[in-house]
Amino acid sequence: MYLCKSLNRKRLTVSQDTIPMKKYEESLSKTFTKEYYSNLVSGNINEKVERYNEVGHVCRVSLRWRGKYYHLQLFFPGSGFPSRKEVETQVNKIYPDATVMVHYASESQPNKPLIRVAN
């Protein structure tokens, strides 16, 4: 059994230079501890994930810094929407002498980094 497939011009072929599954399992057993590996193979992993909810606003910021444009996602805790001055103060902590082009309220996009602003 091979892990990787490559697309040929006319047909789908399985490349022969990939790692077989047996070698992949051997590399996993060397990487992890014996106890963790046995739980990983048997499927007995119990992981705990905690999420916390906080009242605040997610603010998308477009800025210019050193001749390039950047887009950030900032979380401001509290009930009021941040003013432009507050956004500029927080952005200048990350990008000194940056120019904030625009800031607006936005939904949080989980696939992009979110910077939490501390008060």
For residue range 16-29, what is the model confidence (pLDDT) as tens digits?
A: 555 555 565 666 66
Per-residue pLDDT of the chain (119 residues; tens, 9 = 90+): 344 444 434 444 444 555 555 565 666 666 667 777 666 666 655 666 666 677 888 999 999 999 999 999 999 988 889 999 999 999 999 999 999 999 999 888 888 888 888 86
pTM: 0.54
Show the DSSP H helices in 1-119 as ranges: 21-31, 34-42, 84-94
Which residues, in sequence order, are CB contacts of 45 under 8 Å at separation 6+? Answer: 39
Average pLDDT, the chain: 75
**Is the Cβ–Cβ distance between 74 and 59 less than 8 Å?**
yes
How far apart (Å, rounded) are the C-alpha atoms in residues 79 and 114?
A: 18
